[in-house]
Structure 1
Amino acid sequence: MRNRWSTELGRVGLLALLGLGLGLFTPWPLVPVILVLAGYLAWHLYNVARLQRWLYAPGQTEPPQSQGIWEDIFNGLYRHQLRQRKRRKRLNRLIHRFEESAAAMPDATIILGERGVIEWWNSAASRLLGLRHPDDRGQRIHNLVRHPAFTDYLAGEDFGESVEFPSPADARIMLSVRVVRYGRDQRLLLARDVTRLHQLEQMRRDFVANVSHELRTPLTVLAGYIETLQDELAADGADDPVRTRPLELMEQQTTRMRALVDDLLYLSRLEMDGDRGPAPETIDVAAVAEALAEEARQLSGERGHTITVDADPELALRGVPNELRSAFANLVFNAVQYTPAGGTIRIAWTRRPGGGGCFTVTDTGIGIPARHLSRLTERFYRVDVGRSRETGGTGLGLAIVKHILQRHAGWLEVESEAGEGSTFRCCFPVDRVDTAEAVVTKP
């Protein structure tokens, strides 16, 4: 390229010298120079015009033939054009492969542009979400899928989790929808048919509820006979460990089974009700905290736990009283069970920095290793199986807490370290918090 420019500059110099030489034989010496340079400029303009015609010519044409610097320009542009065509072909092949693979997927796949505009979708999206080709191309997804859960999901801009709702094409189909961001203002919407999973989950719930309900009667009968036998032994004044010890063990296990059945039935009811339930009331949480602290002191008994309450009396909560009390009681009584004698338990009800409120239970108990924290709300999950059996735990308490909080738009936060104690927080959004003047329900 440098040689080409040197040659071109040399050519301009020769033309200028030629014009000066011709000017020596004319009365106007500069006129030949101007004419020679004007011709040179005209040649450049001619090549510019040829370049423009070639660039805008339809189809794939060979570059114009020229000389000097213009030969390099034409050939360079032609080589760049060939490279671009190869890239475009590769990109088209990739896009075609993507569309073929996406079209073959059983899950609905939709490409969304700015403001949720639909740019492309596969056949599964037509089947599961009712999209029509080509009428819905360019439409906003909000206008075609209007379920409140999906609308809130998009408006929240938090796509870390999926959202589930019935298909707009067939209400019998349950969809799990996830949105993934990519590129600049691009989103990929994926929808999966989870109807079968929902049916299996419903079957599991029905089975647990039915079995738990059926177990209630025999357990009640068994507990009645055990109590009768114990009363007869007490009336006879018998103090024979061979006879009394088996009855004590039977009573303990029967009580434990009844508690398990009651928790299973309660959890099943919470799951079946979903977000439905009694109308919320405004609750005096400070009074609830004081009442739970007194019950915790009675449960502590001779273990002598120090139990304190720090509750904001001006801060109330809107919800279902018996459900929220059950959730709070689970945390408080767990703290008593898993805190060694002489330990400290602190119950607090305070306003969150960003608004809302938190019911917090902090203890100086045995703590929980970090690897267990993510699974604490799973049913029957126990950090220490042997200790849970000793304390009579059912393994359902935190699962019940989680479901109650979900019904109240709340969430559970856990901080713990083995040997250092634990902190459990039931957090609620600002729209669930009220003032003490509006209190309807007290403990």
Structure 2
Amino acid sequence: MTSQLSAGTGPHTPTPVPQLRSLTIKRPAMSEHGLLDYATRDDSLMWARRGEGVIGFGQIARFESTGPERFALARDWWNGVTAAAGIEDPLELPGTGLIAFGAFAFSFSSTYASRMIVPKIVVGKDENCSWITYTVTDPEAELSLEAAEAELAMLLDDYSAEHELGAGVDRLVTGQITEAEYMDSVRKGVAAIESGQVTKLVLARDAVAELATPIAVAQVLRQLALRYADCWTYSVDGLIGATPEMLVRVRGDIAEARVLAGTLDRASAPAGDSSYAHRMLVEDEKQRHEHQLAIDSLTEQLGPLASGMDAPAEPFVLQLPNVWHLASDVKASLAHRSDGSVPSALDLAEVFHPTAAVCGTPTKEAGRILRELEGMDRGPYAGPVGWVDTRGNGEFGIALRGGVIESPTSIRLYAGCGIVAASDPASELAESWAKMRPMREALSI
């Protein structure tokens, strides 16, 4: 996909601010499949759950940044874009008007360039209505419903091919670290916990899927969305997956997050035991301890920014096709700043990242140990992925249960496991494979 306007972030590089014009128009109700009817192009941008969300086509502006200031640089760019844009949005709903999709590197030391992308066309749907947003840079271009629908029709007509099953040998190969190296890292992580350096550590590993034919991204996204309906299916510039974990959702002055910590592979469950998940997660001291660390980390960060917060004392069991998770939904009323504004979704994504659920406790020390033990660059894995609009509304999930497309026929998959003092290396390795199962299934490997 070719950028029409892009910006880089070297130390002396000025940040160009594109002059954008956008129009949002309400559309007729969609079919029962919702946004999945529009998931037909491999280069589309997507954030969707149960047929609702936003899907983008084309690229009208782009920004990239690296290093410890990657969030701040992206926010400054987006604020500049917002201030310079001409926006006609009679709906004024979360996700209408001008929006940018974003994907951010997990670590400040990553070579992966964090990015924000403004699509040319966005089709959106919430529980009440659907809409289309058309954005242009040409001051003479027509902004109308007819022009928007014509552009969308042209984009949808150029749909992507599907993956031909059985056309060749697809395989999964070792990534940056081997299984043996991962288990060794787990052992070293447990030692670091027992020595008192950290209370919890989240160690990740990778594997590379090599396909005989080009990756059918749109097909993979549809498979993920249908199989993992309770997850948020995402696609941002080669980063794809279906995450069960919401880092932050902002609607006006209300912020919400879904915290997951504590995992049980459903493949290991005995047949006919309906209480197995509750017994092994809710009643298990290790799992509850790991989950509480993640909750405490989030509420500690959110507290100073909130005027009120609801954090349930008891987690619930989230049932996914591959695993069960201990989950908690946290909701807060955001405190207004001196100028009357509240933090945006992008602001809070920076504040909350990295969470204890994907890094460890305490996060700063855990991050340092991760850089020593993991032996790999996570790239955008476990970083924020999602979207933000010009009013600060948005949704950023944690980029889990996914991978990064590295060539037309290869994609790097990632998975991580929470390590505490009671962790067993072989069990954590097995859990990591369970967490890669959604992508393996969607890729037909």
TM-score by length of 1: 0.23
Higher-Rg structure is 1
Q: Which one has a larger percent strand, Structure 1 or Structure 2?
A: 2
Q: Which one has a larger percent helix, Structure 1 or Structure 2?
A: 1
Which structure's relative contact order is higher, taking Cα pairs within 8 Å and 6+ residues apart?
Answer: 2
